[in-house]
Chain A
Amino acid sequence: KAGVTQTPRYLIKTRGQQVTLSCSPISGHRSVSWYQQTPGQGLQFLFEYFSETQRNKGNFPGRFSGRQFSNSRSEMNVSTLELGDSALYLCASSLSVTGELFFGEGSRLTVL
């Protein structure tokens, strides 16, 4: 069974640009969560989607948005990038909203 796939794995952007990250969950998993990981702040929850609906959102500015498609694939978008947005963005899928999370390898974003 294929794991969680995130694309792109690495990307470099400049301040003010926007970025879209993609996540394909494990087949059959309908819950997709996004996390931002930085050395200083650790793993911080961005949002969670279940069956195309955003069920929960972390404490991030409106520049961070996401969506989930009918096939459970998810995308997150960050607009007007800031230097502080440089981080590893992790997507995780699970069978249920209380079950274990299966993380992807992450998308490492560098903002210059």
Chain B
Amino acid sequence: GQQVMQIPQYQHVQEGEDFTTYCNSSTTLSNIQWYKQRPGGHPVFLIQLVKSGEVKKQKRLTFQFGEAKKNSSLHITATQTTDVGTYFCAGQFEASGSARQLTFGSGTQLTVLP
């Protein structure tokens, strides 16, 4: 079936270090969304990328969508303890047409050490 692979599964960083998580799909995505889930919480929407090669920034967070629309990344500059949580990408495959079936990556659990 259609899958979105996400790496790494876990990442421990010292506060102030950078962090990157990557998502890859074997087939073309129509769009990709990113969510953050704090420990004990629910996923919260961060951003949606639609265009090939798109780059969007939110303060210290930079999101990229690959030229082939098969991969995406989230980069956090100078992590803070508030960045702790699990980051998920969620891809919608072009073949799904008008129906929504967001396929979530397995998530990257980020720990920030003070």
A interface with B by C-beta (< 8 Å): 31, 33, 35, 42-45, 48, 55-56, 58-59, 90, 92, 97-106
Contacts and interface: CB of A to CB of B under 8 A. Distances in A.
User: Which 5 residue pairs across A and B have the least CB separation, nearest first?
Assistant: A43-B104, A100-B45, A56-B99, A103-B42, A97-B100
Nearest to A96: B100
Interface of B: 1, 31, 33, 35, 41-45, 48, 88, 90, 92, 96, 98-107
A33 B99 CA distance: 11
Question: From DSSP, what is the main secondary structure of chain A's interface residues?
Answer: strand
A66 to B, nearest CB: 14
B102 to A, nearest CB: 6
Contacts of A43: 43, 88, 90, 104, 107
Contacts of B101: 45, 48, 56, 58
A107 to B, nearest CB: 11
Contact of A48 (B100, B103, B105, B107): B100
Nearest to A101: B45
B107 A42 contact: yes
Contact of A101 (B31, B33, B41, B96): B33
A92 B104 CA distance: 14
Given A42-B106, A97-B99, A102 B45 contact: yes
Contact of B100 (A31, A44, A103, A104): A31
A31 to B, nearest CB: 7
Contacts of A103: 42-44
A90 B31 CA distance: 21
Given A56-B96, A98-B31, A45 B102 contact: yes
A110 to B, nearest CB: 16
